[in-house]
Amino acid sequence: MPATFQLIAAHPVLDFVNTLDNRFIDAGPTELLCGYADLLRFAEQAGLIDAKRAGALARRKNSAAATKALAAALELREALAALLYGRWSSARPPSADIIKTLERKFLEADEHRALVWNSRLSDQGATSRVDWAWGRFETNPEFPVWVLAQSAARLLTSTAMSRVHMCHSETCRWLFLDTSKNHTRRWCDMKVCGNRMKARSFHARRVG
Ligand SMILES: [Zn+2]
């Protein structure tokens, strides 16, 4: 039975950053993306790719391309983490290297768009046009990384950034998007926060 990710962040990019768990405790961190199959499972559970696509990509999980894609995902995740957590530390603003890495990742995602013909006929006449889609790039093992990068680019350049917070629990510090009406959310999830170490240790191996 594959493990289920605890998606509490109200945004897939923040849930993605939370896949390196226990970032700020002495015994941490705990890597939840130990292989390419974990990345696919996360992307599917977070609604970034559909089950059919995840299944097709999973057939290549032991390829060199899959190993490269996982490394690219982790590089993206840690650059995002450095930038997002850095906002709470005036002593350590994100370095120029971090910004450059994110710029490269976001531009890479943009480069993998296919121009597709959308044929439409309606009462108003022909409204056919071309649209941008992932198209043939959906079969590349790096596809989930590009989807994440595109979503991250949108989030990081939006006003929603002011509602990205971290859990108030010192041993948690998971990120989330505060979608509460009065912007008063303080915790990732009261139930999850208290129990997650226990709940997850069965599938996560410790790194670092
Ligand atoms: Zn928490």
Per-residue pLDDT at 124: 73
54-58, 82-86, 161-165, 201-205, range with the lowest pLDDT: 201-205
- Higher pLDDT: 68 or 118? It is 68
- Give 138 Cα–ligand 1 centroid separation in angstroms: 34
Distance 82 CA to ligand 1 centre (A): 18
Per-residue pLDDT band for 67 (boundaries 50, 70, 90) equals: very high
Tell me: pLDDT of 37 over 90.
yes
pLDDT at 151: 98
pLDDT of 77 > 80? The answer is yes
- What would the mean pLDDT of 100-129 be, rounded to a whole number? 89
Q: 66 alpha carbon to ligand 1 midpoint, in Å?
A: 31
Pairing outcome for strands 20-21 and 30-31: antiparallel
DSSP string over 154-179: HHHTSGGGGGEEE-S-TTT--EEE--
- More confident of the two residues 123 and 186: 186
CA of 188 to the centre of ligand 1 (A): 4
Q: What is the pLDDT of residue 2?
A: 65
With a pLDDT cut of 90, the percent of the chain lying above it is 70
Q: What predicted TM-score, i.e. pTM, was given to this entire model?
A: 0.88
Residue 126 has pLDDT above 80, yes or no: no
**Tell me: the pLDDT tens digits for 158-204?**
999 999 999 988 889 999 999 988 888 888 886 777 665 544 544 44
- DSSP per-residue string spanning 2-42: PPPP---SSSHHHHHHTTEESTTSTT--EES--SHHHHHHH
Q: How far is the CA of 63 from the centre of ligand 1 (A)?
A: 35
CA of 104 to the centre of ligand 1 (A): 31
Q: Separation of 135 CA from ligand 1 center, angstroms?
A: 37
pLDDT at 208 over 60: no
CA 181–ligand 1 middle distance (angstroms): 20
- Beta partners for 114? 133
pLDDT at 1 over 70: no
Residue 12 alpha carbon to ligand 1 centre in Å: 16
**C-alpha 24 – ligand 1 centre gap (Å):** 12
Distance CA 62, CA 35 (A): 9
Q: How much is the mean pLDDT over the chain?
A: 89
Least confident of 12-16, 92-96, 138-142, 204-208: 204-208
Residue 8 burial (CB count, 10 A):
19
